[in-house]
Amino acid sequence: MKDGFVKVAAVTPKIRVADTIYNKEKIMEKIEEAERQRAVVVVFPELCITGYSCGDLFFQDTLLEEAKQALIEVAEGTAGKNMLVFVGLPLAYRGGLYNVAAALSGGRILGLVPKQCIPGYNEFYETRHFTAGMEEPVEVLLAENLRVPMGGHLLFVPDCLPELKVAAEICEDIWSPEPPSISHALAGANLIVNLSASNELTGKDCYRKSLVEGQSARLVCGYVYASAGDGESTQDVVYSAHNMIAENGVMLAEAERFKNQSIYAELDIQRLNGQRRRMTTFCGDKKDYRELTFHLKREETELTRFIDPAPFVPGKAEKRRKRCEEILSIQSMGLKKRLEHTNCRCAVVGISGGLDSTLALLVTVRAFDLLGMKRKGICAVTMPGFGTTDRTYDNAVNLVRCLGAELMEVDIREAVRVHFRDIGQEESSHDVTYENGQARERTQILMDIANKQNGMVVGTGDMSELALGWATYNGDHMSMYGVNASVPKTLVRHLVHYYADTCDSPQLTKILLDVLDTPVSPELLPPKDGQISQKTEDLVGPYELHDFFLYHMLRLGFGPEKIFRLAVRAFCDEDNLGGNQYTPEIIFKWEKIFIRRFFSQQFKRSCLPDGPKVGTVAVSPRGDLRMPSDASADLWLARLERCRP
């Protein structure tokens, strides 16, 4: 359970209706299997000890007594096992019959959670047999000297991981207008288990899945749904064992229906708690819950869940296309509003032939089209310098002409040489002054052209560069409106590619594809043999790693050790699909550089121009990242050192 990962299981045993002895044995077999899989929380279906389909046999004392005995024996079978197990059974109490979920651990019955919403419609007639459960816990005498709390308001908390709080609801509870899990979550529960017996109908699986995903998202929780299988199928109903495990709206594991398939996944409790802390509207105000603590050993959970190596980029092509169109719309609509508000008829864009400036120009063209303004009002300025190559220059010129914008060329070399003479900078010294002098000269040109034409400078820098401080202060760092300011580098590439795929211009597509194929570079150092000599990712590290670090640090608030662990899983494990790209040593090296740069370069982000927020991660000092410019990185670096390979 290191780093807050908890392995959970939704299990459907093969059962016989009304045969508690057989069912007990099958449940114990599945518990043994779950132990081999090192599952910590194991959930069985509703009424699985007796079977859900017993009908009026629920009125038989024999069935109820044998069910209780089977429960005690299953509980005893959990002794020495590092897990919390939920099983379902009918239980008589004070003249009523209750459909309950029993929580078992360490050989004990910890508590009983009764079903609160009892269906009595269509094929369901539970109201004939069962009583709606109480919320406030009562003490139930199960056997001699065996008293157990029963009630809806119970939370199960392991002593080794007190931040994990588990609560239960049963089948129909989640289908009701006010599911008990809402109250559970407001009381602190971050893992909801649902013991279910949901029969199969055409199309019902889609709705059932949407309920589980939606509830886990609404409550920012893990949700484990275990449903009855074919052993329950009798008379007019068929059950499919549609087991599901979801986390905050994302389905982590889903069983193939009609197979009685056990499923496993690791929930990230630390991530869920972090999300809740950020949501000021997630106000826990439920005080009348009883927490039942039980013992578990703290063990490291082996990660088998998929860790997305590109968290900013949707994996599925259809979703990726939709995301790209949405982001381009947000960017262009933001610029459109700024142009309208300032009554500006001219936009000035520095165009280099690189990815970021290409995207900024494409967004500006969209904004002008939305306003019904002629594209000739876009002044695209190419400013060749000491590091400009023929390839990027040609792409910049051809792109502007293809889009119908106004091209202006200003060679900066002579002006920079004059500046170097003024400050005593040797042109042969390719230091930071040599580089930044060119960047600031370009920004001065853009600003002055904007003044001359009564226009505004559209910024091109992306969020990944801002996170690393890979921008010249008061150089490319500055503009009147930064359209790419919250777009990470890994997504910039997909946005340009999407534009190339959808622009209906073979010439433009060809140019954009060549831009995409060009190494990322500021081109501030002289080329070698006509080729780019200064490759950004050789200097600051791969952007796919930095975007991964950025997402997990800002979006999820994870510490450096956990980020390193996830990065190793994402980029080093071949079974994670994105794996085997880097070694742990390489990941460690670049994460260390990321932390140092992220903290030391905040002063550049503290004075950023306006720009449209397009995703859940942004670095604007007015919104998402209100970070002191002089904060120390030492704690983060010290914790990362614990992971040194």
Residue 219: closest CA among 275, 292, 265: 275
CA 558 to CA 579: how far, in whole Å? 21
Query: Which residue in 442, 346, 358 sits closest to 402, CA to CA?
Result: 358
* Strand intervals (E) in 135-221: 138-143, 146-150, 154-158, 166-170, 191-196
Length of the chain: 645
| Separation of alpha carbons 97 and 99, rounded Å | 7
Residue 311 CB partners (closer than 8 Å, separation 6+): 547, 548, 551, 552, 555
User: Could you tell me the two tokens for 259?
Assistant: 């197979």
Q: What are the DSSP calls for 411-453, one per residue? A: --HHHHHHHHHHHT--TT--SHHHHHHHHHHHHHHHHHHHHHT
Task: Name 318's Cβ contacts closer than 8 Å, sequence gap at least 6.
Answer: none
H helix intervals, 243-308 = 269-278
Largest CA distance in the chain: 101
Q: What are the structure tokens assigned to 40, written together?
A: 């910590």
- How far, in Å, CA of 303 to CA of 565, rounded? 10
Closest-CA residue to 241 (of 225, 223, 228, 254): 228
Report how far apart the first and last C-alpha atoms of the chain are (Å, whole number): 21
DSSP string, 446-484: HHHHHHHTT-EEEE---HHHHHHT-S-TTTTT--SEETT
Distance set, CA 226 to CA 101, 115, 127, 242, 365 (Å): 12, 15, 22, 7, 52
Query: What crossing angle do the helices spanning 506-516 and 390-403 adopt, rounded to 10°?
Result: 150
In the sheet where 96-105 sits, what is the strand order? 138-143, 146-150, 108-114, 96-105, 84-93, 41-43, 5-10, 263-268
Integer Cα distance of 89 and 151 in angstroms = 14
Q: Which helix (H) or strand (E) holds 611?
A: none
Residues annotated as catalytic (active site), given as ranges: 46, 115, 171
